[in-house]
Amino acid sequence: MTQQHGTLGVAVIGTGRMGADHVRRIDDVISGARVAAVVDIEAERVKRVAHGIEGCTPYTDPAAAMADPGVDAVLIASPGAAHEDALRTAFARGLPVLCEKPLTPDPASALRVVQAEQQLGRRQVQVGFMRRYDADYLKLKALLTQSAYGRPLMLHNKHRNADTPPGFTNAMMIHDSVVHEIDVTRWLLDEEITAVRVLRPAPTGNAPASLSDPQLILFETAAGQVVDTELFVNCRFGYQVSCEAVCEGGIARIGDDHGVFVNAAGKWGGSITPGFVERFGEAYNRQVQRWVDATRRGEVEGPSCWDGYAAAAVCAAGVRAQASGERVEVELDERPALYG
Ligand code: ISE
């Protein structure tokens, strides 16, 4: 690894909303890394993003950026369909990767990535499931790991977005939004999800007519736990993510995000964060910092390609369950030894 200025030279692939946010984060917020290259198919946009970042070269081709001698590692934030190719190029060049979710858009391609990483004989990818780096989720995980309240029996999740971007579909409600609850369920409970059901109540009038919003998603785990998620992506009032773990000896809940709590003019209350970039800003910072630190030590940690593949398998079952109204079992390959 050739690190200039003692820092990790990162190529950020994709300069849309998340990619641009990661460029800002690496340039301004975290330590130990610099943005050595940015990549986007839109030449003007990528030039604009690179402009003003010292030593940053714009590219329209991911492979060319990864061949840049100043690039030591890759952050993939392009649309999911482009991830498999970018990952394979990074594998061929031995470049460590932080790959935004989804690892790839479907289980077959995600499994191919798992198999390609297995052939390397070592982990090279951290998958960007950033909730694992959120301070509240980390506290909840610690309580469950210590068995502070006994065995967890159920999780109740709420996942609310103020609104959806144009073109957001029912399938994206699973792939883009519920994928986070899929990952936190597997991580918090340390169990695979085995089956999915989706209930679709009468929709809100605030969502586009093509969207069945809200939805209630039910997971069963291999240990027999049941997890429900209320997904409401046009709730209008703000961004809310919470998780309540119901254990044998107590209940622990996170995500009641009040910030400052005010009593005034005959009212009490706090405020609600507007969106995920604000709600999970610190988690994104910690995620990228931990990736940079581990990479500089020559290590790989955090959510793995297996986690990315398992999430894709549950998403596929979820989309089928959503369309059919039936209980759909998750089809999962055997977990390779590389992933513990
Ligand atoms: C978005 O892509 C995210 O990743 C957010 O965390 C999630 O809350 C939102 O629903 C998704 O669309």
CATH of the domain at 46: 3.40.50.720
Same-domain check for residues 118 and 136: no
Asked whether 261 and 206 are in contact (CB, 8 A), the reply is no
Q: What is the phi-psi region of residue 121: left when phi exceeds 0, alpha when psi lies from -120 to 50, beta otherwise?
A: left
Same-domain check for residues 152 and 68: no
- Cα-flanking dihedrals φ and ψ of residue 238, to 5°? 150, -165
In a domain, 2, yes or no: no
Checking if the pLDDT of 16 tops 90, the result is yes
Strand 97-100, strand 125-128: pairing = parallel
Same-domain check for residues 162 and 250: yes
Please report, for the domain that includes residue 187, its CATH number: 3.30.360.10
pLDDT in tens, 160-177: 999 999 999 999 999 999
Checking if the pLDDT of 106 tops 90, the result is yes
Question: Is the shortest distance between the CB of 141 and ligand 1 below 6 Å?
Answer: no
Two structure tokens written together for 158: 């709420």
Same-domain check for residues 162 and 240: yes
For 18-76, what is the HEC assignment?
HHHHHHHHHHHHCCCEEEEEEECCCHHHHHHHHCCCCCCEEECCHHHHHCCCCCCEEEE
Predicted confidence band of residue 66 (pLDDT cuts 50, 70, 90): very high
**Relative orientation angle of helices 281-296 and 17-24, to the nearest 10 degrees:** 60
Q: Which domain holds residue 76?
A: 8-130+282-303
State the residue for tokens 């030039």. Answer: 47
In a domain, 1, yes or no: no
State the residue for tokens 């690190």. Answer: 3
Same-domain check for residues 107 and 46: yes
Q: Which positions ≥6 away from 240 have C-beta within 8 Å? A: 158, 159, 160, 255, 257, 272, 273
Question: Is the shortest distance between the CB of 197 and ligand 1 below 6 Å?
Answer: no
- Cα-flanking dihedrals φ and ψ of residue 164, to 5°? -120, 150
Res 6: pLDDT: 63
- The pLDDT mean for the chain works out to 96
Cis upstream peptide for 102 (omega within 30°)? yes
Same-domain check for residues 249 and 106: no
Same-domain check for residues 239 and 126: no
Q: Which atom of ligand 1 is nearest to the CA of 131?
A: 6
In a domain, 3, yes or no: no
Res 302: pLDDT: 98
- Cα-flanking dihedrals φ and ψ of residue 151, to 5°? -70, 135
Question: Is the shortest distance between the CB of 168 and ligand 1 below 6 Å?
Answer: no
Same-domain check for residues 108 and 227: no
Q: Which residue's alpha carbon is nearest to atom 8 within ligand 1? A: 177
